[in-house]
Amino acid sequence: MKIPHVWRRLRRSLRSTTPARAGAAVVILLGALVTAGTAAGPAQAATQGPCDLYAAGGTPCVAAHSTTRALYGSYNGPLYQVRRASDGSTADIGLLAAGGYANAAAQDSFCSGTSCVITVIYDQSGKGNNLTQAPGGGAAPNPDNLANATSAPVTVGGHAAYGVFIPQGTGYRDDHTNGIATGDQPEGMYAVLDGSHYNGGCCFDYGNAETTNHDDGNGTMEAIYFGNIKVWGYGSGNGPWVMADQENGLFSGVNAGYNANDPSVNDRFLTAIVKGGPNQWAIRSGNAQSGGLATDYSGPRPNVNGYNPMHKEGAIILGIGGDNSNGAAGTFYEGVMTSGYPSDATENAVQANITAAGYTTSTSAGATGELHAVGAGKCLDVPNASTTAGTQVQIYDCWGGTNQTWTHTSSDQLTVYSGSSQLCLDASGKGTTNGTKVVVWTCNGQSNQQWHLNGDGSITGVQSGLCLDVTGAATANGTLAQLWTCSGQSNQKWSLG
């Protein structure tokens, strides 16, 4: 345990965060110390995970899901299962070491040359609350899609991993759970999400839902919601917001409606928390890379019939609403559900554990240079320095021109100066299917112009989850770029700078 290193890191984190998100310094120090050592060695793990901290606080995990890391210091089982398209075979993806990080290389090897979907997200708590393909429900009668296994590459603790990328129509569920709160029983939950991937659809949730897959009335759910829908509750700014889905309402505060204290949050990695007990519930949120948690709401239940007492049913959902409303989008990395109402101090320690885990992307905002197509040995190029919106980009011999010089911005745009015009890399027509053209367009801040530059060299579109791809793996000048299912092949590897 490298305590001096952790102490220096903690002091920098506390100096760089606002008081509202600083949390309790003593508790954060405790959480940081028990997670020290994440950078020591190729597979070194935290000595404790979030669920060890919840247990120490008297509110043990009853479900623990992650595709990126162990959530207990001693866990050494599978994190998730993938199924490949070529032959329908499945494989469990485990850890590099007990209590450590996902063995992404095992997935890469198993899925090489084909595509894979995530079929199971295993419960690490030992209670068997595994998440699998969501069946049809009242809002959408057919089973939901499964997530592409490579659409959310990420780096955690210096190790490659994959999150769960959920576009519209995709969702996971467990209707037959063990130990999840029912009725008015107290519980807590957190999720680490991609704060830049969201929409205004209903409903990107993680948490407690109906076992019937239908809307069973007020108070039959208690789940984390993330997005910018304003049909029910909403917070300050334009969103997105962390809110609570308590059925027939997304609540940002005591009632459906506006809560000025629930801020818009768009941290690249976001910690979202909801907890609830008899006539008491809270929302908390924070940056999953640094700093503490803010309390966005803490108070009584909605003063509408059905919410006090609650009527929770104890299913678990991910990416959908309780009645299988599947019009939302988001990305999930890890999350848990607890028995009992966790204290703020326990959650502060968990937040310190999350920030110490080291979620990151490989290329920082502000990086500028040629965008090299690794497999072709050429550069991403705006043909003839065109200033026409909709021009499809290509690969071409690198020569250092402005039409080959790209900047990765803090809002995940890739900008280029072509002629005298600044343009953005854009998924044409907001396409989300294989073969969608990748073009330049006037910058507008929409999600089809946001790109994640990942630790494995891939570049994924935030809206689609597909990879920036050199068509046909060709190497000739003038070969066009497109979106395609991430495959790990060299024609989807890029280097900026």
| CB 185, CB 206: distance < 8 Å | no
How many C-beta atoms surround the C-beta of residue 478 within 10 A? 11
Report the alpha-carbon distance of residue 151 to residue 467 in Å, rounded. 8
- The answer to whether residues 232 and 373 touch, using CB atoms and an 8 Å cutoff, is no
The Cα 123–Cα 117 span in angstroms is: 18
State the Cα–Cα distance between residues 62 and 129, nearest whole angstrom: 8
CA–CA separation, 194 and 329 (whole Å): 10
Q: Which residues are catalytic?
A: 247, 323
Rounded Cα distance between 432 and 461, Å, is 9
Cα gap 20→279, rounded to integer Å:
25
| CA dist., res. 65 & res. 240, Å (int) | 23
CA-nearest of 126, 142, 144 to 317 is: 144
Those residues with Cβ within 8 angstroms of residue 15's Cβ, 6 or more apart along the chain or in another chain: none
Contacts of 316 (CB under 8 A, 6+ apart): 63, 129, 131, 173, 174, 177, 180, 207, 208, 209, 337
The Cα 56–Cα 61 span in angstroms is 11
> Please, are residues 153 and 458 in contact by the beta-carbon 8 Å criterion?
yes
